[in-house]
Amino acid sequence: MHTLLITGPGGAGRTTVAAATALAAARAGRRVLLLSGDPGGPPPALAGPSAGEPAEVVPGLRAAPVAGGFRVARVDSGEEFREEFAALQERGSAVLGLLGARPLGAEELTELPGAEQFALLRALRRAAAAPGTDLLVVDLPPLHQAVTTLALPAQLRRYLARLLPAERRAARALRPVLAQLAGVPMPAQWLYEAAARWDEELAAVQAVIEAGTTRVRLVAEPGPAAHAALRTGVLGLALHELGIADLVANRLVPQDSADPWAKSLAAQQLAFLQDRGPDLPVLGLPHLGRDPQDHEDLAGLTGLATGGSLAPDSPAGRPSWSVEDRLAEDGVLVWAVRLPGARKSDLDLIRRGDELLLTAGPYRRIVPLPSALRRCTVSGAALADDVLRIRFTPDPGLWPRTSTPGAS
């Protein structure tokens, strides 16, 4: 199954493009599931009238067929938060009883900030397992929030591994015996069990996000404001090695307009499109003079796409950072980290143990070093042609010695 994650600067028309993408793919004969994290979208009128009642596609996720020929599933972050919190209270009831705490009732619970991100990630993992689906289209939040959300599973798994190491979680097998000897439940038991469940769920979500069949489609209304937002967002996606399929330039104004204001806007849009690199395919959608109102508008908009079809091609694989062997020429190994649009002032890196802390603009990623580089020291870095090349010099005390012919 192919997963297409759709995001872009706020107000660019992500929801419209997500629905148009699902419609175009369905018309091309693909079985499509559209997942929306926006409580208000996609509007039912835009996706088309319902063609049936919502049904459970996988446990915990329901979807309704629409007239466009695809299914739509929506994320209810409030309900998800209440169910998860109630389950957490139930699992930790023994500890709460020891502390004299009173559990909260379902009617008292209101979702906390950040609950939307976790609900969307959980729904993404479930939707990716939906049977009978060729293409999963996900309507993500605005670009900056989307980048941080997609990076969350890997980051949280690292935190869990540091705070609750596997060897300590494995020791929980002894805790029932200790509890019997002490005569009271061991308060830490539920924590280790919860950590194991969280890690398993986060690993499943991370696998979907980092799969070679997952790509990001960017949506922007061309102009100066979009330029800065896209540069930063693309940098964040590249830092986390998330592949970008294409850019949809939305609400394009005709270049031959006689209206002076429209003509000026069209010139700005053209300059924006000409500034895009050749590595990023661009699809265009025209401005209808208003936002699409119904299924007919959406169908008409889909047919007016320029630069290719909105139905995505199958991805070739996940982008990765390569290690270049220059030991013979320069005595170093070079880690080539592709960061499109990066500036030297955006970047920072720190080596700590077997990890590298990379900062690119407002984003940071802590990434484990490839095995060969762990036996090296960082000897320099340079940014050129959108690639940060980090030089590693072998540590003589750790690098395997090569035998000299004839040596005893």
In CATH, what number does 2-303 get?
A: 3.40.50.300
Q: Are 6 and 120 in contact (CB under 8 A)?
A: no
Write down the pLDDT at residue 314: 82
> Dihedral sign, CA of 377, 151, 276, 259?
negative
Place of tokens 């991370």: 206
Write down the pLDDT at residue 177: 47
* Domains of the chain by residue range: 2-303, 322-394
Q: The pTM is what?
A: 0.86
Write down the pLDDT at residue 63: 92
Write down the pLDDT at residue 229: 92
C-alpha–C-alpha distance, residues 202 and 117, integer Å: 12
Identity (one letter) of the amino acid at 389? R
For 31, list phi and psi in degrees, rounded to 5: -90, 115
With 0-12 CB in 10 A as exposed, 13-18 as middle and 19+ as buried, what is 159? exposed
177-206 exposure pattern, b = at least 16 Cβ within 10 A, e = fewer: eeeeeeeebbeebbbbebbbeebebbebbb
Please, what is the end-to-end C-alpha distance for the chain in angstroms?
57
C-alpha–C-alpha distance, residues 351 and 396, integer Å: 18
DSSP for 11-63 reads TS-HHHHHHHHHHHHHHTT--EEEEE-STT-S-HHHH-SBSS--EEEETTEEE
Q: Are 390 and 349 in contact (CB under 8 A)?
A: yes
E strand or H helix at 272, and its extent? helix 260-274
Write down the pLDDT at residue 398: 81
CA-closest candidate to residue 374, choices 393, 392, 354, 358: 354
Which pLDDT tens digits describe the chain residue by residue (408 residues)? 999 999 999 889 999 999 999 999 999 999 999 998 766 555 556 777 777 888 889 988 989 999 888 999 988 765 655 566 556 556 555 555 555 555 656 665 565 566 788 889 999 999 999 999 999 999 999 999 999 999 999 998 888 887 776 655 555 554 554 445 444 444 456 566 777 788 888 999 999 999 999 999 999 999 888 888 999 999 999 999 999 999 999 999 988 878 888 888 888 888 888 877 667 899 999 998 888 888 888 988 999 999 989 999 888 778 889 999 999 999 999 999 999 999 999 999 999 999 999 999 999 999 999 999 999 999 999 999 999 999 999 998 887 665 434 333
Q: Tell me which fold the domain 322-394 belongs to.
A: Immunoglobulin-like (2.60.40)
